[in-house]
Structure 1
Amino acid sequence: MKLQLVPARSGLAWVREGLRTFWRQPLAFVGLFFMFMAVVSVATMLPWIGLPLALVLLPALTLGMMAATREAVAGRFPMPWVLFTAFREGKARTIAMLQLGALYAAGFFGVMGFSALFDGGKFAQVYLLGGSLTPELMNAPGFQAATWAATAAYLPLSMMFWHAPALVHWHGVAPVKSLFFSFVACARNFKAFFLYTLGWLAVFIGAGVLAMLISALFGNPGIATVALVPAALMMAAMFFTSMWFTVRDCFLDEAAGSV
């Protein structure tokens, strides 16, 4: 495994490849993403351990979406069980992925704890427990500070876990080491990831504008509200489809020629 530096324009190429691959098998990717969300939702319903369990499973499920993209790129139809690829390669890889998930859960709760320093935990309560979000609360200086603090703290966490599931599963990298390699890959290719983020923001904003234009055309504002929810879910599925290409280009498998 070797880290590769990519040009900034690769960020937009990742967005295009994700969109193109999604539309090769749209039903498969939408179905897999709904399965992804269903597993997370069911896990969160469990008393006491629900939310931590859902966080532990997130890296493995993300790996499943990457594996589905690899299948589609190879011209194969991603079957439902590909979502659980992380748990189908033996006990050692399964344990490593669960360890990675535990590290993610710890990091995420650490971010929420950090935000609580600014508003006494109100942001964390709303985010984690679904508390009521009133205009007064949103405009409170402490709540706004907590929101920005959580965003700033989550960025390095996201960088550490972006490539980590793929490194643990396909390269056999130890979970802690995978976090270091992933962070370095994101930092060294910052320009590409910056354009990647801007590209996806443009896609999401464009979808929202299109929904509003359609509702205006038909003279029914409710159309936009109805259309935005499935459109957002589809956009999210497209986003997860694109993640594989960021890993493929940032890490070279010296034995196989690619990740």
Structure 2
Amino acid sequence: MKLKLVPARTGAAWVKLGMQTFFKQPLALAGLFVIFMAVMSLATMLPILGLPLAMTLLPAATLGLMAATREATQGKFPMPLILFTAFRAAPAKVRAMLKLGAMYTGGFMLVMGASYLVDGGGFARLYLGGSAPTAELLQSPDFQTAMWVFIGLHLPLSLMFWHAPALVFWNDLPPLKSMFFSIVACFRNFWAFTIFGLSWMGTIVLAVLALGTLGKLLGNPGLLGVLLFPALMLLASMFFTSLYFSYRDSFELEPPAPAQDAA
């Protein structure tokens, strides 16, 4: 397996491919994303162990969405069981995926703990849904510092796990090695991933502006509030669909060595 270097414009191509593939199988991919979100939400509801369990399952669930995208590119209709691809493999791969999930959980808890030390847990409680946002909280210097600490530390954590589930499952790499190759691939294709992120940010802004404009044209300012959540869920589903293409174009499988003729 070798890392591939791609031009910056490939980042925009990943966004385009994610959208195009989504609309090939919109019901299947949207439904799978809803199931993915429901499983994560239900896991977090469990007392004490809920959040660690959800974080541990996240790499495996992300792999399931990537596997669904791969099937959609092949003209197949991905069924719900594909979300559990990681747990239908050989025991060694299941253990590797769970180790990867445990490592992500540990990293996430450390990042969240760092933000807790800054503002006493105000940002952590808001992020995890334990409190409602207030103007006083959002304007607090400690809260804003904690938010930037979280973002600054969570970004490299995310890059380490960006390709890791696919590398563990499809490339048979051990968890630590998959994390190393994942972040190296992201940095070596820095401009492609920068364009990828900016393209998705621009898409979200345009979608919000379009919904707001539509509400004004129809004389219904509240339309934005009604349609915003479904629109963001739809875009999030397309985002997860596009992840597969960033993995596919960042790595090149080495061809098998030619068989030697018997002497």
Q: Which residue identity does 2:147 align to in structure 1?
A: T
Shift of 1:130: 2.1
Structure 2 residue aligned with 1:95: 95
Structure 2 residue aligned with 1:104: 104
Residues 1:123 and 2:123 are matched in the alignment: yes
Q: Which residue identity does 1:78 align to in structure 2?
A: P
Residues 1:54 and 2:54 are matched in the alignment: yes
In the superposition, the TM-score normalised over structure 2's length comes to 0.95
Structure 1 residue aligned with 2:225: 225
- Which sits farther off after the overlay, 25-34 or 117-126? 117-126
Cα distance in 2 for partners of 1:83, 1:173 equals 20
Cα distance in 2 for partners of 1:215, 1:149 equals 37
In the superposition, the TM-score normalised over structure 1's length comes to 0.97
Q: Which residue identity does 2:156 align to in structure 1?
A: P
Residues 1:74 and 2:74 are matched in the alignment: yes
Stretches of 4+ moved more than 4 A in 1? none
Structure 2 residue aligned with 1:244: 244
Shift of 1:176: 0.9
Cα distance in 2 for partners of 1:104, 1:194 equals 23
Give the gaps of 5 or more residues in structure 2: 257-263
Structure 1 residue aligned with 2:29: 29
Residues 1:189 and 2:189 are matched in the alignment: yes
The alignment-based identity, stated in percent, is 56
* Structure label with greater radius of gyration: 2
Cα distance in 1 for partners of 2:73, 2:46 equals 36
- Which sits farther off after the overlay, 87-96 or 232-241? 87-96
* Count of aligned positions: 256
Shift of 1:117: 2.5
Cα distance in 2 for partners of 1:245, 1:77 equals 18
Cα distance in 2 for partners of 1:216, 1:129 equals 31
Provide the secondary structure at the position in 2 that maps to 1:35.
helix
For each residue in 1:221-257, what CA deviation from the matched residue of structure 2 results, as whole angstroms up to 9, or x when unmatched?
A: 111111111010000000000000000000111238x
Structure 1 residue aligned with 2:255: 255
Residues 1:40 and 2:52 are matched in the alignment: no
Cα distance in 2 for partners of 1:255, 1:200 equals 34
Cα distance in 1 for partners of 2:114, 2:122 equals 12
Provide the secondary structure at the position in 2 that maps to 1:5.
coil
Shift of 1:132: 2.4
Shift of 1:195: 0.2
Give the gaps of 5 or more residues in structure 1: none
